[in-house]
Amino acid sequence: MAFEELLEDPVIQKYLNVLVGPKGMPVAAAPPDGEVTDEELAERLGLELNDVRRALFILYENDLASYRRVRDEDSGWLTYLWTFEYEHIPGNLHEEMERLLQALEQRRQYERDNEFYLCGNCSIRFEFDEAMDLGFQCPECGGELEAMGNEELIEAIDERIDELRDELGIVA
């Protein structure tokens, strides 16, 4: 996938937005070619320097940007020259999908292993042991806790697990 196509992909835009937030999105959405300083980016994008730096460091922590330091021989000041490395985005997304799959598999097991009770008034869900300790009465409103089936939730989790496995090329 070409660099420009990558940035037009709504999934990648959402991923970047989740990483850097709305204030950092202008930095993430318009990476320059070659090296650039944080000050140049702030000026070019009309953003606060702290917002630019925050976005750059988040991108750096996620292997989507790198920097090199250059010391000014006269003043001794360090200048950071940033380079964007968005070729790592597909791998990062793949890892995120694997983490999501693992979390969904754990949640499915939790849902299968437990019996739940629900307060119809407050919509608070309790595990069987909690409900029993409460005398099957809601601690918020005093209403009766009713047994709750979670088959539909388990089915929805199973469907999402199947979709993720399909996208990741995992055979169950």
Percent of the chain residues topping a pLDDT of 70: 95
**How far is the CA of 170 from the CAs of 74, 85, 98, in angstroms?**
57, 28, 10
The amino acid at residue 107 is R
At 32-48, the pLDDT tens digits run 888 999 999 999 999 99
Q: What is the DSSP letter of 88?
A: G
pTM over cut 0.75: no
Q: How far apart are the first and last CA of the chain?
A: 28
Burial class (CB in 10 A: 0-12, 13-18, 19+), 145: buried
CATH code: domain 3-84 is 1.10.10.10
Pick out the chain residues at pLDDT < 70. 1-7, 172
Domain ranges of the chain: 3-84, 91-168
Looking at the chain, how many residues does it have?
A: 172
